[in-house]
Amino acid sequence: MSGRASVLRSALEQRKALVVPGCHDALSAKIVEGAGFRATQISGFGVAGSLLGRPDVGLVDMKDVLDITGHIARAVAIPVMADIDTGGGNAVNAAAITERLIEMDIGGVNIEDQVFPKRCGHMEGKQVIPADEMAGKIRAMVEVRARQGADIVINARTDAYAVHGLHEAIFRANLYLEAGADMVFLDGIGSRADIERAAHEIRGLLSVNLMDAVSGVKTELIPIPELAAMGIARVSIPVASIMVMHKALTEFFGALHASPTGILAGETHWLTSFAEYTKFVGLPEYRSMEHKFLPAAVAAK
């Protein structure tokens, strides 16, 4: 079956460290696409922050996750990887959600083996479910994919590294690949040596998370060409969009509030121009439609 999932699968199978930045809404997805990246992934961390102003600790309803996923998929042409956390429940729930994602033409999906309510992978206090329970979720998702004749990429994330160590994380990754996952991800993995060992011992596509591509957090920052040389399939940069937004808004509104005049006249470096922004979101195209289909007197207003 052709489509965005097949495009994503082909890119990942090259094992050349495809960089997949995270987005938290349709606008940030369009910006990722406009910058030239070949795929984007939805950041659960970013969605929790942008939608609720809360941390990523399992507070976002799955209905909201799916609604936002649909908005993002419609906003861009590049493949989108969804984030369904722990799959919405058991294997039956994970299968049902997979059906919805296929209907949206989603390129791939991240599912993890944490106990619900989950935590962001770089937070403390994580717990993982039994490996065979996670494998059952993957098998259910694979069955749905086959029944639908789809090609959605299933990325199985394990959080066992922080809880049980590298050996258990590698064991789980291989088990999930055997269950039918297309790619695996050891979240929170620390050093270059551990990444190299994982790349050597895992029998399938491996994803590495560089969080924001700037600070490293728990995973050592390694240049993309070096990860490609290791045969890494995907490099995710999941939280940069929400962190950049937070910094920009904090600095702008802080400056605005501190201004003795209450305005920042002439300080155009703070923001995109109105004309540039409306062009980016497609206003000229909508105005063209108005002139084409609305009564002339209405369209001219």
Average pLDDT for residues 66-74, to the nearest whole number?
97
How many residues does the structure list for the chain? 301
Extended strands (E) in 11-127: 18-23, 40-42, 80-83, 108-112
Confidence of residue 121 (pLDDT cuts 50, 70, 90): low
For residue range 183-203, list pLDDT tens digits in order: 999 998 989 999 999 999 999
Q: Are 104 and 73 in contact (CB under 8 A)?
A: yes
Q: Are 77 and 33 in contact (CB under 8 A)?
A: yes
Q: Are 30 and 76 in contact (CB under 8 A)?
A: yes
The percent of residues above 70 in pLDDT, for the chain, comes to: 96
Q: Are 25 and 65 in contact (CB under 8 A)?
A: no
Confidence of residue 212 (pLDDT cuts 50, 70, 90): confident
Helix H or strand E segment including 185: strand 183-186
At residue 118, the pLDDT reads: 72
**Which of 66, 64, 126 minimizes the C-alpha distance to 96?**
66
The mean of the pLDDT values for the chain is 94
pLDDT at 125 over 70: no
For residue range 217-271, list pLDDT tens digits in order: 678 899 999 999 999 999 999 999 999 999 999 999 999 999 999 999 999 999 9
Tokens of 176: 């999930």
Q: How far apart are CA 166 and CA 68, in angstroms?
A: 34
List every span in the chain annotated with CATH 3.20.20.60: 4-245
For residue range 27-60, list pLDDT tens digits in order: 999 999 999 999 999 999 999 999 999 999 889 9
pLDDT at 143 over 90: yes
Tokens of 20: 């997949």
- Tell which wins on pLDDT, 26 or 116: 26
Alpha helices in 79-152 (DSSP H): 91-103, 131-148
For residue range 159-186, list pLDDT tens digits in order: 999 899 999 999 999 999 999 999 999 9
Any idea which fold 4-245 has? TIM Barrel (3.20.20)
Confidence of residue 298 (pLDDT cuts 50, 70, 90): confident
Confidence of residue 216 (pLDDT cuts 50, 70, 90): low
